[in-house]
Structure 1
């Protein structure tokens, strides 16, 4: 029998030391993650302050996809959802805004196409509904539309495909810019985000600049924040989310695809321009090439005028995005997707996607400060 002054068994002492070490390690790890998270919050504070969201992560406006369900889910998860107006008429847009507001109390934006014949009416609908941010896309926004948005108490956001246009838009009074690289899905410009960011971010400091195109992980978002971006816009990952109304076959195509499958549409003849659109290659994209070839042949044979041939080419994809997104015809429809599609391995809830992006950014900061630390 041991008396009161006997030393504790050696095994108990070692166990105590191990437990103390583990506790100290956990405390240090928790402190490191808290510090990294605080740094991330500082890096995108200009973006979160501008958007009024917890995270400076915008949802890209995608026709047929960015409607009330997805937009409200993004905003409710701490991001910033953006409704895609597309070809909606004012009454239809008013309905969609009201339906979204019924699903979230958080701020969200509305994306308007500048070429819409009723752009002024659409702006008035947004202002009447107290939409806080209006995104003007699809061309250089008219000055009166920018002024109307700002005079109505909302903030105007525009896309800048080059530094010279970014400076012009700032002079026109836009409150923030999005620079979108050619890696993005849907209609794209000619320059990659890595190049566009180097061209624009060092020289535009007076308004927040959000980056977009090919973004699928938090580490990439972090790298652009450290270059001066205010936040990031993602579309492809959200298109395949659980809350997206896209057809199950549409989402399954995203899960199967890799980056090389997301290609830009090909222009067969320089006399007949094709607006570049990035999507998954399928029978539809192959048929489009055949259609262009046949149309050019008929033009050369005198069956079409140049204008008729151009319209024949442009009308090929009419309704094809809806066929893919809503009807699930992923072989013949237009499956618009960015090159980040290769990073989608499963259909996830929006909240899980945003949490994952944030954790990846935090992990990257922790590893940088503690290179020997295992995550």
Structure 2
């Protein structure tokens, strides 16, 4: 077994918190972060996270049970805060004694953090600003993920390197902070650990693993792409708050622009309210992503990818990816 003593020492607070061998979380990628990939990541020493996305409580119930059948290692569940059945999904997590729940997509609604902590689970939150991060940590968040705009899927406006410089000096001593966005190699992991992060989160790096159920066409699109192919969606109407999404440019990115115009028109006419408008946008992405990931439609589907996509050239087993990341980090720290 390789000696990753320097990296492991810097990850110690993160691994103690997660209960995993390495403080490397897999980002929750809808349709991709399911039982197969999640269990493979946890079995390889990382921390897999089920992407609940738009799942119903029954579907999540089945997915957690199936994941437990494939691994006896810790894993978490990512819940979208705007999900209309959020509290029912929390109940499902409670039933299965899920140890860690990640709340993503917005400020957690009143009572949600308390409902999760009531059954003994740890709460991981996201925050785009330092002020909000401090508020969420005061309000019961046990750990924080700061995710830069280089990430795939829904993103904020600030780069990972800037967020790390802003958040870590302020928070790292007293809080558990994981860094995400654009991380494709272990050298970057080493750098963020040295800055005070307790671990990292990667999505794109694992999307094309052998254990990923993503369609062959989806994976091939990743292998062909370079960093500049992963572009952000455009907001058409400022009255319709749409969180930008980073994906590989194709016909689907153009169709999203048309969808926004349609939804904005229905909002203007009073046909729907803002909450429904946002849900329709989310459902568009869920459907478009499924077409790409599951059906292999890489023309009109959404190929969500971070800018680290250019570093992916082949399918690899999750265990090999994990070992490469840790080896690269250890070598970088050893040269310091």
TM-score (norm 1): 0.83
The match for 2:50 is 83
- Work out whether 1:224 is the aligned partner of 2:184: no
Deviations 1:136-164 (A, max 9, x none): 11111134221122221111111111110
- Work out whether 1:322 is the aligned partner of 2:294: no
SS of the equivalent of 2:59 reads: helix
Deviations 1:323-351 (A, max 9, x none): 00000001110110000101101111111
Matches within 5 A, 1:190-229: 190-204=157-171, 205-229=173-197
The match for 1:353 is 321
Matches within 5 A, 1:294-313: 305=268, 311=277
Contact kept in structure 2, 1:61 and 1:82, CA below 8 Å: yes
Contact kept in structure 1, 2:152 and 2:247, CA below 8 Å: yes
The match for 2:332 is 364
Deviations 1:87-123 (A, max 9, x none): 1122221111010000000000001111112211211
Rounded Cα–Cα distance in structure 2 between residues aligned with 1:116 and 1:304: 20
Deviations 1:226-279 (A, max 9, x none): 000010000011111110101000011111100000000012343444320000
Q: CA RMSD in A?
A: 2.3
Rounded Cα–Cα distance in structure 2 between residues aligned with 1:160 and 1:168: 9
Shift of 1:355: 0.5
Shift of 1:292: 5.7
Shift of 1:174: 1.0
- Work out whether 1:259 is the aligned partner of 2:216: no
Deviations 1:294-342 (A, max 9, x none): x59x96xxx9945569959947656111100000001110110000101
Rounded Cα–Cα distance in structure 2 between residues aligned with 1:340 and 1:172: 33
Structure with the larger RCO, 1 or 2 (CA within 8 Å, 6+ apart) = 2
- Work out whether 1:61 is the aligned partner of 2:28: yes
SS of the equivalent of 2:252 reads: helix
- The change in CA–CA distance for 1:317 and 1:110 in structure 2 (over 3 A counts) is closer
Larger radius of gyration: 1
Contact kept in structure 2, 1:162 and 1:199, CA below 8 Å: no
Contact kept in structure 1, 2:41 and 2:47, CA below 8 Å: yes
- The change in CA–CA distance for 1:123 and 1:316 in structure 2 (over 3 A counts) is closer
Rounded Cα–Cα distance in structure 2 between residues aligned with 1:222 and 1:84: 26
- Of 259, 280, 283, the match for 2:251: 283
The match for 1:48 is 15
- Work out whether 1:107 is the aligned partner of 2:104: no
Deviations 1:1-25 (A, max 9, x none): xxxxxxxxxxxxxxxxxxxxxxxxx
The match for 1:241 is 209
Rounded Cα–Cα distance in structure 1 between residues aligned with 2:254 and 2:89: 36
- The change in CA–CA distance for 1:352 and 1:200 in structure 2 (over 3 A counts) is same
Shift of 1:286: 3.0
- Of 147, 153, 176, the match for 2:120: 153
Matches within 5 A, 1:93-104: 93-104=60-71
Rounded Cα–Cα distance in structure 2 between residues aligned with 1:273 and 1:207: 31
- Work out whether 1:131 is the aligned partner of 2:121: no
- The change in CA–CA distance for 1:291 and 1:61 in structure 2 (over 3 A counts) is closer
Rounded Cα–Cα distance in structure 1 between residues aligned with 2:331 and 2:52: 36
Rounded Cα–Cα distance in structure 1 between residues aligned with 2:237 and 2:57: 38
Contact kept in structure 2, 1:143 and 1:172, CA below 8 Å: no
Rounded Cα–Cα distance in structure 2 between residues aligned with 1:291 and 1:139: 22
Contact kept in structure 1, 2:178 and 2:200, CA below 8 Å: yes
The match for 2:108 is 141
Shifted more, 75-84 versus 131-140: the winner is 131-140
Rounded Cα–Cα distance in structure 1 between residues aligned with 2:60 and 2:188: 34
